[in-house]
């Protein structure tokens, strides 16, 4: 049976189901117990599982992420809540030097089955230190898996897969999507990592979009349909592993592509995916691969300025029209 629930509820359900299934799973982070996080995503879990498995930590991100790494190495399966994705800068040593490398440096004797769940996304008026989308930072590090759900359905299936994975996984949820609803089965399901989702089939251009930008791409595709342009929309679901084959196959069919991501455009996800398309589908391209990301500036607090920094459906649709018409690409 399928019902419509919010992305917030989907994450909550996924974690609760995995904690019931496996007593080694526990949850820790700032305000995860009594407050249920500032976004109330984890509300009620402490009532069922108690403060020994839903643990409020001090305001010390390096400390509690380091504790999670140690717990994972010694038999537990921690889920670490990092209140804002911007705080990743504080835990890069624990995550990238310890969690990511332990399996390799121990000759395969140790694993670090931990999940670090955090968020991304601008346009919430949270200013430059609470509005960043930093998924490219951790996707760059070998040994970490990176998932980016784009709906409630994706959030639940990817979270359950992440918790069961033997590797450290960083999962990014868009903070503006917590109240968005989508059909989610009541029955258990998992979404495998490295399997992209083709949300809409098309023939003229491929739109590869991550997380919050999936909705942007879908709206752009609807607008393009009115102009007689058929856009294919692909959600990679995970950056690591990346389903390169599905993306390349689509671009070989459509001969044009735009990659859309809310991270900064420079040296980011759009550049990596565009590069792979250019390498694997070059002779099928009728137009240069286009990239659309967040403006390369600190995210402004001003609503009028902040809204200009991230891709919009209108901007994506216009870029697609130029590509289909074969007009000279913008120099950016």
Is 173 known to be catalytic?
no
Q: Which two tokens stand for residue 52?
A: 């020994």
The three-state secondary structure class of 214 is helix
- CA-CA-CA-CA torsion sign (197, 199, 200, 205): negative
d(CA 38, CA 46): 15
Is 135 known to be catalytic?
no
Adjacent-strand bridge partners of 117:
81, 171
Q: Which residue has the tokens 């033997």?
A: 166
Q: Which two tokens stand for residue 282?
A: 């070059």
Between the alpha carbon of residue 107 and those of residues 11, 86, 91, 97, 102, the distances in Å are 34, 32, 24, 16, 9
Annotated catalytic residue, options 18, 30, 130, 173: 130
Annotated catalytic residue, options 13, 61, 262, 306: 61
| DSSP-assigned states of every residue in 274-314 | HHHHHHHHGGG-SSPPEEEEE-SSPPPSSHHHHTTSS--HH
d(CA 326, CA 332): 17
d(CA 188, CA 198): 22
**Phi, psi angles (nearest 5°) of residue 54:** -125, 100
d(CA 168, CA 163): 9
- Given a contact cutoff of 8 angstroms between Cβ atoms, the answer to whether 178 and 201 are in contact is no
Residues catalogued as catalytic:
61, 130
């Amino acid at each position: 049976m399928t019902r419509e629930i919010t992305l917030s509820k989907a994450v909550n359900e996924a974690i609760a189901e995995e904690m019931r299934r496996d007593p080694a799973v526990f949850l820790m982070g700032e305000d995860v117990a009594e407050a249920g996080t500032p976004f109330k995503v984890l509300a009620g879990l402490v009532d069922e599982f108690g403060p020994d498995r839903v643990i409020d930590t001090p305001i010390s991100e390096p400390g509690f992420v380091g504790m999670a790494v140690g717990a994972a190495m010694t038999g537990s399966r921690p889920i670490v809540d990092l209140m804002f994705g911007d705080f990743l800068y504080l835990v890069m040593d624990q995550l990238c030097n310890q969690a990511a490398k332990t399996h390799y440096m121990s000759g395969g004797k140790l694993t670090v089955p931990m999940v670090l769940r955090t968020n991304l996304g601008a346009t919430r008026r949270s200013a430059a230190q609470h509005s960043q989308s930093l998924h490219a930072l951790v996707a760059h590090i070998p040994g970490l898996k990176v998932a980016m759900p784009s709906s409630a359905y994706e959030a639940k299936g990817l979270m359950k897969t992440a918790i069961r994975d033997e590797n450290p996984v960083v999962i990014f949820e868009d903070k503006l999507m917590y109240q968005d609803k989508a059909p989610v089965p009541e029955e258990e399901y998992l979404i495998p990592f490295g399997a992209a989702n083709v949300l809409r089939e098309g023939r003229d251009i491929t739109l590869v979009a991550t997380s919050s930008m999936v909705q942007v791409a879908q709206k752009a595709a609807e607008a393009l349909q009115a102009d007689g342009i058929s856009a294919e929309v692909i959600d990679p679901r995970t950056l690591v592993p990346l389903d390169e084959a599905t993306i390349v196959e689509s671009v070989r069919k459509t001969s044009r592509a735009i990659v859309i991501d809310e991270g900064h455009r420079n040296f980011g996800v759009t550049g990596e995916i565009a590069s792979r398309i250019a390498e694997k589908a070059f002779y099928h391209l009728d137009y240069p691969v286009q990239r659309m990301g967040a403006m390369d500036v600190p995210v402004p607090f001003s609503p009028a300025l902040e809204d200009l920094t991230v891709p919009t459906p209108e901007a994506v649709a216009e870029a697609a029209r130029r590509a289909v018409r074969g007009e000279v690409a913008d120099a950016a």
